Structure 1
Amino acid sequence: MLTSSLVLGAAGGGFNGGDILFQLVMFIILLALLKKFAWGPLMGIMKQREDHIANEINSAEQSRGEAQKLLDEQRSLLKEARTEAQTLIENAKKQGDVQREEIITLARSEADRLKESAKLEIEQQKEKAVAAIREQVATLSVMIASKVIEKELTAQDQEKLINDYIQEAGEKR
């Protein structure tokens, strides 16, 4: 009979406050256990995960900042290198122009010196040739004069004598 009244009481739909109270207490205990054993560690894991993600984001931001800083430094160094290279090229061009002008000036002065030297040598050779011709003319004149003195000449004899001496002088050379 006891079992039938329990079944009838449950089936009767009556209000059972003890059950509700028991279920409420069990629910609170279950919540407390969940909070202590599941919710706390779960929240701790979530907090660790949140901290880890925040650290990763901060690290990524720092890395991005460092990368941007390095990129700016590299751009600056590249710009300086280009400027320096341009300066070196300009200096080399200027130095090349100066050396070219020096070489041209030296070549012109050397050419002028050689020209003057050649003029002097030509003048000296000319003077030697003129002196030699004068000497030969003087010798020929003396020879002709001595022959004329030895004998009196006719116009034909005089012409023959001159031709002979000219031939003789030509053979001596």
Structure 2
Amino acid sequence: MVIEWGTALYQLLAFAVLLLILSKFALKPLLGVMQKRQDMINEQIDSAEQNRKEAEKLLAEQREEMQKARVEARELIENAKKAGEQQGQEMVRAAKEEAQRIHQQALAEIQNEKDQAVAALREQVASLSVLIAQKVIEKELDASEQDQLVQEYLKQASEEL
């Protein structure tokens, strides 16, 4: 096998020119596109990492807010229970006071009516005594008639009461 150096040199030179042309027009744009793609992928990775960190931060904030809301809800429930108990105790106290007031008022009314009844009874007894005395004086009666007359007037007085 004989090597033709002229043809080999020509092929080598043609290959070198082709390599230069390809590297200038094809390889540089291809490497540029690959670099842009690598940069874009790196940006997306950075963006995804940043989004993940923000999501974790928001999740932690939401958990903290939920915990605060639970604590506030418990406090509100406790306050409502206390207020309800206080209101219930106040209502019981007011009802007891009202019952005591009504009881005292009823006792006062009973005493007043009793006093009025006693006064009326005294008046009737006095008027009956006067009537009996008048009748006795008007009529001189013997003892049995006088007893009978007193009994009649007492019976009459008790019927009027």
Say which of 123, 131, 138 aligns to 2:111: 123
Given the two structures, how large is their TM-score scaled by the length of structure 1?
A: 0.83
Match of 2:36 in 1: 48
Question: In 2, distance between residues paired with 1:95 and 1:15?
Answer: 110
Q: Is 1:17 aligned to residue 24 of structure 2?
A: no
Query: What is the number of equivalent residue pairs in this alignment?
Result: 160
Letter of the 1:135 counterpart: E
Distance (Å, rounded) in 2 between the aligned partners of 1:170 and 1:118:
27
Which residue is equivalent to 1:37? 25
Q: 2: CA distance between counterparts of 1:110 and 1:91?
A: 28
* Identical residues among aligned pairs (%): 47
Please, what TM-score do these two structures have when normalized by structure 2?
0.88
Partner of 1:10: none
- For residues 159 and 60 of structure 2, the distance between their equivalents in structure 1, rounded to whole angstroms, comes to 96
Structure 1 residue ranges without an equivalent (≥5): 1-12
Q: Which structure would you say has the larger Rg?
A: 1
Q: Equivalent residue for 1:137?
A: 125
1:65 is aligned to 2:57: no
What's the CA shift for 1:85?
1.5
Among 76, 83, 87, the residue aligned to 1:99: 87
**4+ residue segments displaced more than 6 Å:** none
Which consecutive unaligned segments of at least 5 residues does structure 2 have?
A: none
2:137 equivalent to 1:152:
no
Tell me how far apart the structure 2 counterparts of residues 70 and 16 of structure 1 sit (CA, whole Å): 75
| CA distance in structure 2 between the aligned counterparts of 1:144 and 1:32, rounded to whole angstroms | 161
Q: For residue 167 of structure 1, report the CA deviation from its aligned partner.
A: 5.3
- For residues 159 and 14 of structure 2, the distance between their equivalents in structure 1, rounded to whole angstroms, comes to 157
